[in-house]
Amino acid sequence: MGSAESRNIEARLGKAIFTNVNLPRKFYIWHTGRTSTKFFLAEDKSNPTHLVSVPNACRVQLILYNGPTIEAEPMAVILFGNDISRHDRIQLAARPGEEMMHEEIRSHCHRWSTAYTFATFIKPGALPERFQWRSSRCNEVKDLNEASSGYKLVRLGGDEEIVAVASHARWGKNWTKAGAFKFVGRGVTGEFGEPWQVIAVASLIRILQKDIESASTAALISCSG
């Protein structure tokens, strides 16, 4: 049947408006343990700014709130794909005077790893632009001072500028830290708009959530073997 949070989220998202999202330029991502049902975004662990929730009862959606509790307005909901479809759907709150937005996060092989691509409008009247999260050990990822491995978000087309980076938490440093995130390049300027920022962050949390679940599954298999 799902939790009350998941049952009510569609109606709440339909009433929400993009206003003062204020995602930090750089922040850390904390989670509640191996079940990974809640992620907190914070520059300082004691003062979280945004909550990302994966409701317990269904575990088929991820919700990004514009605040540190579920009472805050939801900004995005990612609906997980199934075993047949590897693509997640993302629903976004509306810009003022517009309707709710719908996009997709498509996963596919890129060289020796999985890449995640989304497209969105960043300028009124323009065609949607595509962005892609790729596994990376680039200097921008290493500069986050966590694990040397992580992800870079590139703007596809042209010179494939890096517009955001993220890293896994350093192994053994803190069991409840999932990683770090930073907007870089033109991703810092705000010219892509708040909806783009929200998709960038929500899609990255979804990737980290998958990574944590995969690691937990691998650990269980190892223990039972």
Residues 143-165: tens digit of each pLDDT: 998 888 899 999 998 889 999 99
| Model pLDDT, residue 220 | 42
- Please give the share of the chain, as a percent, with pLDDT higher than 70: 87
Reported confidence tier of residue 179, pLDDT bands at 50, 70, 90: very high
| Model pLDDT, residue 218 | 47
pLDDT at 172 > cutoff 70: no
Letter for the amino acid at 200?
A: A
| Model pLDDT, residue 219 | 46
Structure pTM?
A: 0.90
45-49, 59-63, 116-120, 154-158: lowest mean pLDDT where? 59-63
Reported confidence tier of residue 58, pLDDT bands at 50, 70, 90: low
Cα distance between residue 101 and residue 90, in whole Å: 8
| Model pLDDT, residue 2 | 59
| Model pLDDT, residue 55 | 87
pLDDT at 26 > cutoff 90: yes
Task: Give domain limits for the chain.
Answer: 4-224
Mean per-residue pLDDT, 88-112: 89
SS (H, E, C) the chain: CCCHHHHHHHHHHHHCECCCCCCCCEEEEEECCCCCCEEEEECCCCCCCEEEECCCCCCCEEEEECCCCCCCCEEEEEECCCCCCCCEEEEECECCCCCCEEEEEEEEEECCEEEEEEEECCCCCCCCEEEEEEEECCHHHHCCCCCCCEEEEEECCCCCCEEEEEEECCCCCCCCEEEEEEECHHHCCCCCCHHHHHHHHHHHHHHHHHHHHHHHHHHHHHHHC
Top-ranked range on mean pLDDT: pick from 50-54, 146-150, 215-219: 50-54
Reported confidence tier of residue 184, pLDDT bands at 50, 70, 90: very high
Top-ranked range on mean pLDDT: pick from 84-88, 122-126, 130-134: 130-134
